[in-house]
Structures are given as C-alpha cells and as structure tokens.
A and B are shown apart, each in its own frame.
Chain A
C-alpha cells in the first residue's frame, strides 16, 4: 500500500477486466455474542458499489453492534468480512478506514479542542497517512485546507470553519459527524442513525446530503426514520435478533410479511 493513499483500484479494476462483479462489502456468517446473549447471529450481508443500502430493525436488533463489527471497533467471534475483494476480517479499525471503509457514530464524537475546519482537516490527513510528519506546520498545508473546505461546503458548514465544536447546533454537529467520514474519499460509509434527534428541516437536509453521496461511494444507512429510509434507499435489509430476515428493493421489503410482523407493524403503531 502506498503511504499516500489507500489502494482504490482493487475492486474497480476487477470490474473492468470482466471478472464477475463482487459486492463491495461481503459479509458471511458473522457472529457475536456477549456472554449468553447472541447479538449477531450468522449474519450475511452484501453492499454493492455506490448503492444506498438501508439497514433497519427494531431496537435491540444489533444494528450498532454490527456497525462496530464491520468498522473494526469490535472483533467478531466468527465469520468473514470482505471489502473490495480483500479479506479484512482480521484488520483493525484504522486499517479498514485506510482501505475506504468509514463509519459515523450514533452519539456524536467530534474533536473538541479542534475547530470545525481542523476537525475535517484531521479527518483528511488521517485518511492520507503521513501521520508522523512532525516538522512542517499543518496550517500551511494548502491542499489539506482546500480538501477540508470542500467537505465543509458539501455538508453545509462552509461558513462555520472557524467555529468551535461547542458553538455548533445539534444539527450542525450531526452534519459534521457525517462529514468526517466523507473527508478521506471513502468507498463505503456506515452511517449510524445520522438523523438521530433532528428536526424535520435538519432531517431533510441530511437526506439530501446522503442522496448526493450516491455518486461517490456506497452507503450503509442505519436509521430509525422509516419513511426517509424507504425514500432514499436502493436496497433495504431488515435486521431482527442479529440476523437479516429480509433484503431487497424497498417496495418488496415493505410488503414482506415477515418484515411487517417483526418491525414495520410495530413502528406504525408507535407513530
């Protein structure tokens, strides 16, 4: 791997050579248990390049655990994860990120002692490597600042670069939370409830942002807001008790009896 960027070509070149197109993310038989509690149960999941793939499921279905397993924060008990054709099952979080698999967090995690722009600039540099350069001032790295500014524009915070994290509204913080994952030009982003705690207007802006990602990368979207999920997603998978019970086009999944029983019926009752 070159020190200046992750290998992007592996999976795309395979596509050009006419070999069978593999899924960008290919999860087989993934398991995780905490003591006696099975959280992820022989889970299979495929995410195709540049699709918006929504993952829904009732509370406690194991969505956030799955994100941690996929991003490498949590080791799986068994099963395999392939990304861009490469077996990444044994890789730790930063290695997966350098290969273009990024995640956001359900509870906002930002760098409080850095400004908004510095947050994004750090995310850019973390994706690039060259971490141990300890002499040249990072503030004069014009390319880094330019890339950071491009991300800020994309997430609607172009004018807020010099603000501190505390000065941002909740919606702005959530936008930055997602923006950090976009900074290193990912191939796949795992967005863990990006609309959590948002008002209608902020949710709509976030939906537009996610919609716009389709041109650049694949999205695995974990979300409670079922309406926006069905509007955005190319594929919807339903997670119940740690296993995928249905997966397919939104309208097919919406009418799947197993899904209605396990999830949508409850959700409609609740709303």
Chain B
C-alpha cells in the first residue's frame, strides 16, 4: 500500500468514527459543523474540477449550488421527501441549466467567462428573490427532510453526516479516477493549450461543456444536501459572494489538487468557527491566511502534501 493510500484510509476511518469521538468528548454540537464542512467540501471540489482541472474560472458556481438547493427545497415544501425524486429533480434541473449556461458562457474566455458566469448567477439570484410562492427574498423554511430507502431520515444528525460523507467520498473517488483517465488527460491538455489540443483532434468545446455540466451537477447535489442540513433555503445561496467563498476555499485548499476542495472547506469553516468566537473582524484575519497561502504555497494546503497531480 502506498503512503498516499494509507493516509486516505486513515482519514476516511477518522471521518467515519467522528460522531462517536465527538460524543465521547461531549462535543456533539460539532457534528453539525462537520456536516457543514462535508457539504461545502463537495461544492468546493466541484468548483475545483471546473477551475483547477478544467482551467475555467467561474464566478457563478453558486448558481448551481442554489438551483440544487431550491430543487430540493421546493420538493420538501410540496411534501415530497423521497430521496430518489430529489436526486432526479436536482440532477435534471441543474444539468439542463448548466448545459444552457455552459453552451453560452464557454464561447468566451478569461475575464469574459468570469463576467458571463457571474451574470447568469445574479440573474438566478434575482429570479429567486421574485418568486413569492416559494418564500421570495425571505426564503423557505422547511420542517421535513429527505427520506432515504430503509427509513433513513436526514433530520437525524448522524444519518445526515454519513450520507453527506458517502457523497463526498464518492466524489473524491470519481475525481481521482477522472484525473488519471483519458478524459482527464484530455482536459489537462486543453487547459495547457486549447488550440493545440483542438488541432490534434480533440473536440475541446464538448470536453469543456461536459466538465462544466458535471461540476454543476455536483454543486447542485451539495446544494440539495445543504437544504436538508439547515432546513432553510434563501436566495442568498445564489448570491455571487457564495461563489466567491467557494473560490476562496479552492485557492486556500489547492487549485487542481484532489484534496483541495476538502482542505479549503475544512480550514475556512474551522477558522470562521474559531475566529468568530474571538472577534467580529474574523474576515480580516482570514484575508491574511489567504494571502500567506497564495504567496508561500501556490498549490494550496493540499498541494503541500501532494507531490504531483495524478
């Protein structure tokens, strides 16, 4: 067994044992923090797929988190709890939206791509604000949660944590396989030099669109999970500052590294938790941390441990 694989298994074992560990120390409260980290880790990993692996800097990724959140939130408010229906609706809605937004946005590059993804996300933000039937700008408070087969209710904190953890683990497995595959190699090549990759026969637009939709769907699933964690969804999940938070997580954790999204989400949310208890100017101190990472660890926190992307 390689050291990397051993470390992964240890991390997984620790994550699985976490609810019991917290209970043993009488710190059950932190399980909801852990769940939040896991959900954000999924969202940040999806952005890392787009940004780090695909080289597409989007400032509108919250649009897909928000669409997934609303898909699940609206279903819950209509009394639909079946996880299968939620999954189908979330994936369906987000995939169609990502396909349309991607088909338009991916015709642009660089700053224009940043601006057009931002514009789409803000459009959805204002749309969500205007839909009075589902809470409008006040958002939607939900009393029920998804039900999984076998009577697993996401209202139960342990159940939620394990379901989210399973989704995150699957995400990381898929991302690792993707990165080492033909498609992963193709995406890496087109990130280096799109014109050359195209000249060698790679359908670069289709490749980028597939990555864009996959990243969007994954973000949507994170959004659906977040609603089931908080029991609440509001237009704020679609706001561009949410896209910014995800970007900060990816940069902090390590752009284009397998564990970048996880490391970024964990460090940012824990810092928030710790600093917010000490000072109301916590964002100021997080700014310094971000600055230090950008200056001294260009590949982020995960990059310090990963020698080279697989």
Contacts and interface: CB of A to CB of B under 8 A. Distances in A.
B167 interface: no
A105 interface: yes
Contacts of A113: 188, 191-192, 309
Contacts of A139: 180
Nearest to A98: B201
Given A73-B195, A110-B193, A113-B188, A102 B200 contact: yes
Most chain A C-beta atoms within 10 Å of own C-beta, residue among B184, B203, B204, B206: B203
A170 B69 CA distance: 52
Contacts of B204: 94
Nearest to B214: A134
A112 B55 CA distance: 14
Interface in B177-220: 177-178, 180-186, 188-189, 191-193, 195-204, 206-207, 210
A127 B195 contact: no
Contacts of A112: 192-193
A105 B200 CA distance: 11
Given A109-B193, A112-B192, A125 B185 contact: yes
A158 interface: no
B199 A102 contact: yes
Nearest to B202: A126
Contacts of B185: 114, 118, 121-122, 125, 138
A105 B196 contact: yes
Most chain B C-beta atoms within 10 Å of own C-beta, residue among A118, A123, A129: A123
B196 A110 contact: yes
Contacts of B178: 134-135
Contacts of A126: 186, 189, 197, 200-202
Nearest to A112: B192
A151 interface: no
Given A94-B203, A131-B202, A137 B180 contact: yes
Contacts of A157: none
Contacts of A34: none
Contacts of B200: 94, 97, 102, 122-123, 126-127, 180-181, 183-184
Given A93-B199, A127-B201, A111 B188 contact: yes
Interface of A: 71, 73, 92-94, 97-98, 102-103, 105, 109-114, 118, 121-123, 125-127, 129-139, 141, 180-181, 183-184
Given A97-B200, A114-B192, 16 more contacts: A73-B195, A73-B199, A94-B201, A94-B202, A97-B199, A111-B188, A111-B192, A111-B197, A113-B309, A122-B200, A123-B200, A126-B202, A127-B201, A131-B206, A134-B177, A180-B200
6 contacts: A97-B199, A131-B183, A132-B210, A133-B182, A133-B183, A135-B177
